[in-house]
Chains A and B, each alone.
Chain A
Amino acid sequence: MSIQTCFHCGLTISKNDLLLFDDKEFCCNGCKTVYEIFSSNNLDGYYDFEKAPGATPLDIQGKYDFLDNDNITSKILDFNEEHTAIVSLTIPHIHCSSCIWILENLQKLQSGITLSQVNFPEKKVRINYNSQQTTLKEIVYLLSSIGYEPYISLDNYESGKKSQNRSLIYKLGVAFFCFGNIMLLSFPEYFEVNEYWLDNYKPFFRSLIFLLSLPSLLYSASDYYVSAYKSLKSKILNIDVPIALGIIVMFLRSTFDIIMDYGSGFFDSLTGLIFFMLLGKMFQIKTYSFLSFERDFKSYFPIAITRIRANKEESVPVYDIEKGNRLLIRNQELIPVDGILISENTEIDYSFVTGEAIPISKKSGDKIFAGGKQIGKVIEMEVLHSVSQSYLTQLWGNAVFQKEVEQKYQTLTDKLSHYFTPILLLIAFLGFGFWIFKNVTTAFNVFTAVLIVACPCALALTAPFTFGNILRILGKKQFYLKNALVIEQLAKVDTIVFDKTGTLTSNKKSKISYEGKLLSSLQLQLLKNIVHASNHPINRMLYDFLPESDRISVTSFEEITGKGILATIENIPFKLGSADFVLGIPDSNAIQTTLHIEINNEYYGKYLFKNEYREGLSSLFQQLNKKYNLKVLSGDNEGDKDTLVSIMPSETTFNFHQKPEQKLEFIKKLQEQGHNVMMVGDGLNDAGALAQSNVGIAVSENVNVFSPACDAILDANRLKNLNNFLNLSHKATKIIKMSFVISLLYNVVGLSFALTGNLLPLVAAIIMPLSTITIVSFVTLMSNYYAKANLE
Chain B
Amino acid sequence: MSVIYLLIAISIVIAIGFFIAFIIAVKSGQYDDDYTPSVRMLFDDELQSTPNKTKQSNQEK
Contact = CB atoms under 8 A, between A and B. Distances in A.
Interface stretch (A118-126, A251-259, A438-446): A118-126
B26 A20 contact: no
B32 A164 contact: yes
Nearest to A211: B12
A170 B33 contact: no
B53 to A, nearest CB: 7
A19 B33 contact: no
A45 interface: yes
A100 B36 contact: yes
A44 B52 CA distance: 14
Contacts of B36: 100, 117-121
A186 to B, nearest CB: 13
A500 B11 CA distance: 65
B12 A181 contact: yes
A164 B49 CA distance: 40
Contacts of B56: 20-23
A39 B36 CA distance: 24
Contacts of B40: 100, 104, 118
Given A18-B61, A39-B53, A100-B40, A204 B47 contact: no
Interface in A172-186: 173-174, 177, 180-181, 184-185
A128 to B, nearest CB: 15
Contacts of A204: 4-5, 8
Given A20-B56, A32-B58, A42-B48, A208 B8 contact: yes
A653 to B, nearest CB: 46
B4 A201 contact: yes
Interface string B1-28: 0101100100110010001001100110
Contacts of B43: 45, 101, 104
Nearest to A105: B47
A44 B49 CA distance: 9
Given A119-B33, A169-B31, A45 B47 contact: yes
A43 interface: yes
Contacts of A120: 33, 35-36, 39
A19 B58 contact: yes
Contacts of B44: 45
Interface residues of A, number: 39
A122 B33 contact: yes
Given A105-B47, A119-B36, A164-B32, A180 B15 contact: yes
A45 B49 CA distance: 10
Contacts of A110: none
Given A97-B39, A120-B35, A120-B39, A39 B23 contact: no
A20 B61 contact: yes
A352 B47 CA distance: 42
B47 A181 contact: no
A312 interface: no
Contacts of B35: 120-121
Contacts of B34: 121
B26 A100 contact: no
A121 B47 contact: no
Contacts of B53: 22, 39
B58 A20 contact: yes
A42 B39 contact: no
Contacts of A659: none
A101 B36 CA distance: 10
Nearest to A94: B36
Contacts of A45: 43-44, 47-48
A235 interface: no
Given A22-B53, A45-B47, A204-B5, A177 B15 contact: yes
Interface in A13-47: 15, 18-23, 32, 39, 42-45
A11 to B, nearest CB: 17
Given A97-B39, A104-B40, A122-B33, A44 B19 contact: no
Contact of A166 (B26, B33, B42): B26
Name the residue among B36, B59, B60 with the largest chain A CB count within 10 angstroms: B36
A108 interface: yes
A164 B32 CA distance: 9
A166 B35 CA distance: 17
Contacts of A122: 33
Interface string A94-117: 000100110011001000000001
B50 A39 contact: yes
A185 B7 CA distance: 12
B50 A20 contact: no
Contact of A173 (B22, B42, B58): B22
Contacts of A173: 19, 22-23, 26
A105 B55 CA distance: 23
A174 B20 CA distance: 10
A550 to B, nearest CB: 13
Nearest to A120: B36
Nearest to B9: A208
Contacts of A118: 36, 40
B31 A166 contact: yes
A21 B27 CA distance: 48
Contacts of A177: 15, 19, 22
A114 to B, nearest CB: 17
Contact of A19 (B4, B15, B50, B60): B60
A43 B4 contact: no
Interface in A148-191: 164, 166, 169-170, 173-174, 177, 180-181, 184-185
A201 B47 CA distance: 62
B36 to A, nearest CB: 4
Nearest to A29: B58
Contact of B55 (A22, A104, A185): A22
Nearest to B50: A44
Contacts of A105: 47
Contacts of B59: 19-21
A248 B18 CA distance: 28
Nearest to B44: A45
A169 B39 CA distance: 24
A56 to B, nearest CB: 16
Contact of B26 (A32, A169, A181, A208): A169
A675 to B, nearest CB: 41
A170 B4 contact: no
B29 to A, nearest CB: 8
A208 B5 CA distance: 11
Contacts of A181: 12, 15
A212 to B, nearest CB: 8
A664 B35 CA distance: 39
A232 B8 CA distance: 42
A412 B28 CA distance: 38
A407 B19 CA distance: 33
Given A18-B61, A121-B36, A208-B8, 6 more contacts: A42-B47, A121-B34, A164-B32, A181-B12, A181-B15, A208-B12
Interface of A: 15, 18-23, 32, 39, 42-45, 97, 100-101, 104-105, 108, 117-122, 164, 166, 169-170, 173-174, 177, 180-181, 184-185, 201, 204, 208
Lowest 7 A-B CB distances belong to which pairs?
Answer: A120-B36, A21-B58, A119-B33, A177-B19, A97-B39, A120-B35, A42-B47
Interface of B: 2, 4-5, 8, 11-12, 15, 19, 22-23, 26-27, 29, 31-36, 39-40, 42-44, 47-50, 53, 55-56, 58-61
7 contacts: A19-B59, A120-B39, A121-B35, A164-B29, A185-B8, A204-B5, A208-B12
